[in-house]
């Protein structure tokens, strides 16, 4: 995938698009001209979006997952599909092991002079940028715009006079401060910083933990949209000034109010061709992660009002259901896909590794129509938390069933492959080859992030390496595992598992193949398909 992946990218997406559509797990489009929130019930944290013609594009935080920076597309702001990633693989060895909670934080997506730009902050290394002419194609290699520690959530603005600016926040865990926003001037190409910078906004005392700023200009006013108050319980602030360096006026424009939508904040504003305004933001809903909502937006006296403002005080509350945006393009109902028949030249773009990937981990060509997962040795194999070669994807809805058809007949002794629900706690259904035959074990690990290893809570001996593994996720965030040898009759194994989120992300469901031996002949497992219902 490193060398040939881009060559086959468009072909692979075409093949996937032609596959029969499965029933949607969560459908935001009501089919009657209205939609229900969330528009994406999946962990697309810190979303930002733009409109280019009739197309909308979105990106989101990806933290330690690779490929990084997902690119999503829509023509109506309700039905979204994932089409690409902006960073195929990180160019250095820093991400060769899982860097949980680190990496790509709160990106900003912008379109300027024919270029698509994404800026993001890595809290430990600085502010980076990538760009492309085609969001479905290849993006440039990451450029370090500013080497810094604790600089996060950057957003650029190209002004009419040709100057380029960047506003960003600070991570309290690194910088010791989290309530101020800094304005930084960039060089004309937007690729590096100048010495011209200043703190322009402080959130204290009413708006602590000020972060995730998005920079806009409208009718001669500079606007900074920035969430405050923390991820789970915060609100959305907007700041405005006639002078880019301030002083800035402020207003709270969106809060939970009487609704059940906690922390409605951090996202992006977009204007339709007909002048309608909309705001996309996230809601933290663990263990699902940060799911994406769409709010109507309007301007009153030079201030945005988001959601419904029944009191008329300028502070809106999020909607649960609303009419769809008025767009000319009427798309088929779509949600970010997760199923995969592994019939294309690369796997579904919903999949991501836990760290930088390597070609010897897998193959899409050794056995066409199958994903071959080679049994890879890793010193941390006793705990899947630090294993890099886990291929995982986001929880796709409030309840679902994931089933995988796996052939482990070519696993060697002490090698295993299986299905995992991964988070701070995890549970894995692992098929292991042994002298007795094939043993299927349910392995559960609590507090995996603290270095604890998984323990087997039940197992069964099988005569064949061909097995169907299933995880049933219920609305109460419980996961029940089962297996089948014929694909029809499933047998429960172990007790229901209470799913937990990961570090700054929702739980993920994934596939793995591991070896206990560092050297010698290695086996593999072939995955025929992975299906979500």
pLDDT value at position 324? 97
Highest mean pLDDT of the ranges 2-6, 433-437, 511-515:
511-515
Separation CA 31–CA 24 (nearest Å): 13
Task: Check if 46 is active-site.
Answer: yes
Q: Could you tell me the CA-to-CA distances from 336 to 60, 81, 256 in Å, in that order? A: 13, 4, 26
Is residue 120 within 8 Å of residue 154, measured between CB atoms?
yes
Rounded (5°) CA angle 342-344-347: 55
Q: Kindly name the residue from 211, 277, 317, 407 that is annotated as catalytic.
A: 211
Separation CA 469–CA 221 (nearest Å): 56
Domains defined along the chain, listed by start: 27-323 (2.115.10.20), 352-532 (2.60.120.200)
pLDDT surpasses 60 at 15:
no
Cβ partners under 8 Å of residue 335, min gap 6 = 24, 25, 26, 27, 28, 40, 41, 42, 79, 80, 81, 396
pLDDT value at position 9? 32
Q: Could you tell me the CA-to-CA distances from 24 to 28, 29, 215, 401, 531 in Å, in that order? A: 10, 11, 35, 12, 11
Confidence of residue 23 (pLDDT cuts 50, 70, 90): low
Model confidence pLDDT, tens digit, residues 286-316: 999 999 999 999 999 999 999 999 999 999 9
Query: In b/e form, how buried is each residue of 300-314, taking b as 16+ CB within 10 angstroms?
Result: eeebbbbbbbeeeeb
Model confidence pLDDT, tens digit, residues 198-248: 999 999 999 999 999 999 999 999 999 999 999 999 999 999 999 999 999
Instruction: Identify the H or E element spanning 5.
Output: helix 5-17
pLDDT value at position 483? 98
264's tokens? 């409605």
Which residue do the tokens 């996309």 mark?
Answer: 280
Task: Check if 211 is active-site.
Answer: yes
pLDDT surpasses 80 at 82:
yes
Instruction: Identify the H or E element spanning 241.
Output: strand 235-241
Is residue 204 within 8 Å of residue 179, measured between CB atoms?
yes
Task: Read off the DSSP letter of residue 330.
Answer: -
Model confidence pLDDT, tens digit, residues 392-436: 999 999 999 999 999 999 999 989 999 999 999 999 999 999 888
What's phi and psi for 12, nearest 5 deg? -65, -45
Q: Kindly name the residue from 29, 46, 122, 255 that is annotated as catalytic.
A: 46
Beta strands in 365-450 (DSSP E): 371-374, 376-377, 391-394, 400-407, 415-422, 426-434, 437-445
pLDDT value at position 336? 66
């Amino acid at each position: 995938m490193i060398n040939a992946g881009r060559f086959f990218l468009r072909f692979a997406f075409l093949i996937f698009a032609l596959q029969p559509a499965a029933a949607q797990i969560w459908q935001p489009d009501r089919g009657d001209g209205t939609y229900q929130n969330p528009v994406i019930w999946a962990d697309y944290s810190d979303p930002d979006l733009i409109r280019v013609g009739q197309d909308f594009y979105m990106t989101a935080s990806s933290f330690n997952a690779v490929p990084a920076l997902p690119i999503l597309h829509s023509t109506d702001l309700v039905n979204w599909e994932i089409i690409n990633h902006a960073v195929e693989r990180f160019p250095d060895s820093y991400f060769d092991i899982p860097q949980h909670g680190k990496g790509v934080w709160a990106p900003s997506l912008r379109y300027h002079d024919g270029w698509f730009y994404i800026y993001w902050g890595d809290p430990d290394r600085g502010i980076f940028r990538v760009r492309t002419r085609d969001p479905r194609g290849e993006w440039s290699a990451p450029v370090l715009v500013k080497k810094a520690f604790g600089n996060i959530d950057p957003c650029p603005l190209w002004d009419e006079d040709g100057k380029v600016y960047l506003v960003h926040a600070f991570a309290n865990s690194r910088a010791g401060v989290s309530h101020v926003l800094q304005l930084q001037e960039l060089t004309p190409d937007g690729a590096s910083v100048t010495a011209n910078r200043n703190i322009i906004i402080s959130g204290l005392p009413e708006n602590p933990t000020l972060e995730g700023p998005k920079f806009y200009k409208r009718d001669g006013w500079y606007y900074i949209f920035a969430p405050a108050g923390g991820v789970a319980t915060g609100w959305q602030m907007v700041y405005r000034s006639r002078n880019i360096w301030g002083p800035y006026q402020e207003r709270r424009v969106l809060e939970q109010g009487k609704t059940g939508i906690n922390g409605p904040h951090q996202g992006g504003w977009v204007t339709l061709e007909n002048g309608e305004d909309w705001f996309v933001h996230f809601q933290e809903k663990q263990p699902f992660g940060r799911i994406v909502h769409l709010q109507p937006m309007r301007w009153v006296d030079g201030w945005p009002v988001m959601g419904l403002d029944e009191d008329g005080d300028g502070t809106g509350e999020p909607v649960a259901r609303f009419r769809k945006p008025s767009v000319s393009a009427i798309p088929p109902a779509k949600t970010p896909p997760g199923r995969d028949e592994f019939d294309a030249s690369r796997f579904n773009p919903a999949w991501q590794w836990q760290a930088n990937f390597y070609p010897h981990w897998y193959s899409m060509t050794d056995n066409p129509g199958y994903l071959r997962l080679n049994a890879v040795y890793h010193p941390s194999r006793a705990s899947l938390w630090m294993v890099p070669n886990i291929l995982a994807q986001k929880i796709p809805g409030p309840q679902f069933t994931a089933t995988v058809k796996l052939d482990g007949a070519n696993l060697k002794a002490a090698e295993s492959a299986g299905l995992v629900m991964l988070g701070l706690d995890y549970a894995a259904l692992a098929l292991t080859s042994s002298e007795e035959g094939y043993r299927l074990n349910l392995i559960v690990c609590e507090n995996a992030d603290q270095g604890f290893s998984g323990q087997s809570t039940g197992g069964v001996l099988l005569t064949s390496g061909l097995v169907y593994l299933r995880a049933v996720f219920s609305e109460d965030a419980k996961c029940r595992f089962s297996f089948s040898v014929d694909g029809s009759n499933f047998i429960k194994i172990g007790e229901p598992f209470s799913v937990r989120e990961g570090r700054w992300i929702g739980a993920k469901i994934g596939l793995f193949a591991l070896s206990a031996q560092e050297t010698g002949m290695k086996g593999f497992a072939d995955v025929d398909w992975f299906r979500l219902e």
